Structure formats: C-alpha cells, structure tokens
Amino acid sequence: MTGLRRFATNRLAVVGAVALAILVLFAVLGPLVHPTEQVATDLGAANLPPGVDGHPLGTDALGYDNLGRLMVAGRVSLLVGVLAGALATVVGTLWGAVAGYVGGVVDAVMMRVVDAGIAIPAIFLLLVLSTIVRPTVGMMIVVLGLVSWLVPARLIRAEALSVRTRDYVVAARAMGATHSRTVLSHVIPNTVGTVVVNATFQVADAILLVAYISFLGMGVQPPTTDWGAMLNDGINYIYQGAWWLILPPGLAIVIVVCALNFVGDGLRDVVDVKGRTA
C-alpha cells in the first residue's frame, strides 16, 4: 500500500488535511474575495452585529470588519506557527541527531541542556520577553522556534542512538565518511518519519503559544493581529452577547490545532512500520 493510500485510510487525517487546506485558502485568498480595510480604524462602524452594512461577521470595537480580520489574523497565526514549528524542528533535529550520534560526554552535556530548557515553561519565558519588548511577527517566529526545539531534540536523539549502530552507518564510517556527512546523509534521513510527524505537532503547539501570549495581551502590536489577540479583544464583550467577536477566532484556533494533530496521526500511520500488514 502506498503512503498516500495509507494516509487516506485514516479518515480523521483526511478531514484534518482538508480543514487545513480550507483554512490556509481562507487566510491567503480570502481577502481577494472579501476585501476589507484592516489598517485604518473606523469608529463610526464599531460594534456592528453580523449582517449589518456589508459585514457578514459584524465589526469589532474599532470598526474592523470581523470576517476580514479573521483572515488577516489567520495569516499571522499560520505564518508564525508554520515557520516557528519549522525552525524548532530544524534546530531540534540537528541537536538531537548530533547528541545521539556522538554519544558519551557530548551527548550527556547536550541532553542536560535540553533537560534544563524543558524545566523552564516556554510561556514563562515568552511572557518575560514580552514585558521587555513588544514582539513583531519576525521576533515571535524566532523566539517561539527557539523555545520549542527541545522536545524534537529528545525524540531525534533517541532515533539517532538506534540508527548509529546500523550496518549502513558503520559501513559509511568504514568507507571514510566524515561525521558531518554521516549525520546529514545517513542519520537524519533515517529519522525523517519521526521528524515529519513531530513537525505537525510543533506547528500546532506554536499556533497555540501565539494564541496564549496574544490572549494575555502581550502579542503583536495593532493593527497587526492574530487569532489569540482577536479572542483577547472579544472577551471584553462576552457579557454583551457579541458572540461574533469570540466564537470565530476561538473556532479557528480549535480547528487548526485539531487538524494538525489529525494530519500528524495520519503521517505517523504512513511512516510507522509497526503493526503494518503486508
């Protein structure tokens, strides 16, 4: 059975992939279908309910069209999530592969660094940083990536410990391959299944982290926004019944995180040989 077919047998994974594709299209191409002003405020059109004056999802306290805002916020959430997840995966993979391949004292030191990093909650570091500087999108990508690489590093290190004893790795070393060539050409490619599966979870985690810090009011500066910041703004109106300010960004976060997890499960089915029938 091919990988694609195996993925397709996991219905939740397919649903997740479709949902993800729809959300990406919504965020990227949506503004072409429903163009709105998302930089200048319009207090004259503030707090409109859905369906009034051409605003399908109403407007927020500053007069921004809520549907349009959901789109531009989605761009930021997805962009930060994907790039931060990718950065965490790259750093974690290299760190774990080197630690597992080299072993000994180097492995011990590198993994104690990982243990120490994991002991400090990422949200704590992010909040401390947010009180010092107001983050930009670029800064959030770098910072989230740099606090999220610890778990993939552990996973890849465990894989590398196993791979380094395989015959093809030993043979490559015997034929004169350098350590860096061995790691890059033999160790990492043979852990790619774990890397890919974990990457989807990293992206989901990064999107949630963005939402956390934005919900706590420490996110990107207006007029830029993300789903977490929209949720934070909308929560002030929860008792006024302004569901359109809370439900859409909340649902978007839930859907994208669930979708990524479903896709991750599907990819695991593809790369996991255990329990596979002929």
Partner 1 sequence: MRTTHAGRAARLAVGAAAAVALLAGCSASSGADEAAGRTDVNYALPANATPNWIVPLGIAGKLATHNSAIMRTLWEPLVAYDGSEGEVGRVATADLASDITFSDDGRSVTITLDEGRTWSDGEPVTSADVKFWFDLVRANTDVWASYSEGRMPDNVTDVATPDDKTVELTFDKVYNPEWLQASQLNLIVPLPAHAWAKTADDEEPDPALAETEKGAKAIFDYLVTQSEDLGTYETNPLWQTINGPYSLTGFSDAGQVELTRNEKYDGDDAASIDTVNLLPYTSTDAEVNAVRSGAVDYGYIPTTGLDAPEQYEQLGYAVEPWAGWSITYMPYNFNHPEMGPVYRQLYVRQALQQLVDQEQISDVIWKGAALPGYGPVPQNPESDFLSDEQKENPYPFDPEAAAALLADHGWTAGSDGVLECTAPGDGDDECGDGIEDGQQLAITILSQSGSAETDNMFAEIKSTFDQAGVAVSIESAPLNTVLSSIAPCTADQPDCDWELPFFGTAGSWYFGGYPSGERVFGTGAASNFGSYSDDEFDTLMLDSTESTDPSVMQAYSKYGAENLPVMWLPNPVYQVSVIKDGLEGTTQDPLASFHPQRWSWAG
129 vs 255, which CB is nearer to partner 1?
129
Least distance from partner 1 to the Cβ atom of residue 278, Å:
58
Tokens describing residue 70: 């959901």
Least distance from partner 1 to the Cβ atom of residue 61, Å:
5
Residue 65 lies near partner 1 (rule: CB under 8 A): no
3-state secondary structure of 39: coil
Nearest to 254 by CA among 272, 228, 276: 228
Using omega within 30 degrees of 0 as the cis cutoff, is the peptide bond preceding 223 cis?
Answer: yes
Residue 53 lies near partner 1 (rule: CB under 8 A): no
Site track for partner 1 across 128-157, x = CB under 8 A? ---x--x-----------------------
The answer to whether 270 and 6 have CB atoms below 8 angstroms apart is: yes
Would you list the DSSP string of 174-191?
HTT--HHHHIIIIITGGG
Among 47, 86, 91, 212, binds partner 1 (CB under 8 A): 47
Question: Of 219-238, which residues contact partner 1 (CB under 8 A)?
Answer: 221-223, 233, 235-237
Would you list the DSSP string of 185-229?
IIITGGGHHHHHHHHHHHHHHHHHHHHHHHHTT-SPPTT---HHH
39 vs 278, which CB is nearer to partner 1?
39
**Under the rule (CB under 8 A), what is the footprint of partner 1?**
39-41, 43-44, 46-47, 61-62, 131, 134, 217, 221-223, 233, 235-237, 239-240
